[in-house]
Structure 1
């Protein structure tokens, strides 16, 4: 079974091709440190054979980057030692762990940050994910704001390396700030908007800054087409625009592309899956996830998309021992809405 084969992911040895995808758990401390149970929580996935664990999204600064209440971060040096306990615990179980870094942008919960910053002053549609509040009206990021944001990603990447993470992942998906800038509806008319070259500028600058600060550990870039406020979003230019995005991200320093979709194995309108488009246009290490539920799904994802690693979220949330249960042909617990709000070490 290819899924269980050892593999090198951008130079990082993994004992299989299965990753625990980022999952928001909303249980950090008030000052942004991981909760006391976090080390045991992530180590449990490693103990049950997950080759790679990717943290939930970690905020990068104390100004406007938090997405939800009780989100942990890597925004201050105070956070480094707290995350070192987590990375040590995962390494002791024989697995690798990446830190996912995020700026919330206009999708931040109201009242959480000192300000809400977006590509423009246009609020996201609908309500927030955590509290169901109307999405706040942001202010358009100034050039100075953008430089501070880039510096924030750089500093957080350096802290991730200091905390012992094996790699970092930049959150460029689901409508959060980097993804909003990539979107063909970002609404800006300056050097950060309009043409695809301009819309890629922020992602490229963040990649370069992270590479300069985190040393030799690999950098993954998480991309999705859909946004939290628009699940149906597709670039108007279709596959050609996506091909350019993936090529540019690779050239800018993304060692790994992590493609998130609602259904990894579902072809898009142009006849191939999003992961296949990424693999074809920008060859290299690839993580693919979304809608995978069984080992057979993972096998098919590896075969059909050419991905290096298959990532799962909800199956692991419902079954921390998902690999063991799958291999033993035991019944799997089903995910139910709200499970992510249960205590970190809760088991169905």
Structure 2
């Protein structure tokens, strides 16, 4: 690890004033420190924002929930209001990483997680995320864990976050701050698909700091579930995950929210599946049909074609449980 400068920011204004090319913000550090140890990230300066007053979870008059960027993942998952109004979010956080990491990791840092693709971490192999223009070793390599949606010829890495999949289904908005003022970015626009520039992963400008995440009031979210399929029951990234919320009236789907993880280059909102389901009978046949419509655009690699069927079955199973009124 190369030498770097350290600054502890006393307030948001100081933090955004000091950020510059070559500097990185440090919240919980659960991803950044690993990347620095591996030589993937090598900032000249680390700006410690862990003491900033961004740790609240508050509800506005219109029911919108504002989650501070430095709320710890463990605190988010344990919050009674989050568990009651957005159970899929609490479940997603609890299924991510270990208890020790959740105690350190922050909401803002979770949004900025970088891929866990092994080629990204291996400096001896080409990776367009790590070194633009060098190539993608995962294409034609070992790609069992890689993406089947939203990929490009430059990158097939998956986005690693569980929390962000739930936020995608919940129509979250990311609040950011810079010396120019406050900006709000819809979560669905925050993460970028790789295209020809997979190293540009978010819509965040280099001088912006994430200050909060906002969740709109949405009654359908109260009956929701996060389901994660992985190789082992703890401390493993998703092969496929599904964040789903469902409201059924008179046997038909009145409202649905659906997002996928483990299969895409970003948290994947299943827009086509939602379109097919809205107004349709709440039956396994319709759930299967919607899942198939969403996965029709999948582009499998040499070792991950199984994810298509696995994703379809996970979508159907999750929606079935919700239709039965059993989210847990």
Regarding TM over 0.5, the answer is no
TM-score by length of 2: 0.30
- Quick check: which one's helix share is greater? 1
TM-score by length of 1: 0.29
**Higher radius of gyration, 1 or 2:** 2
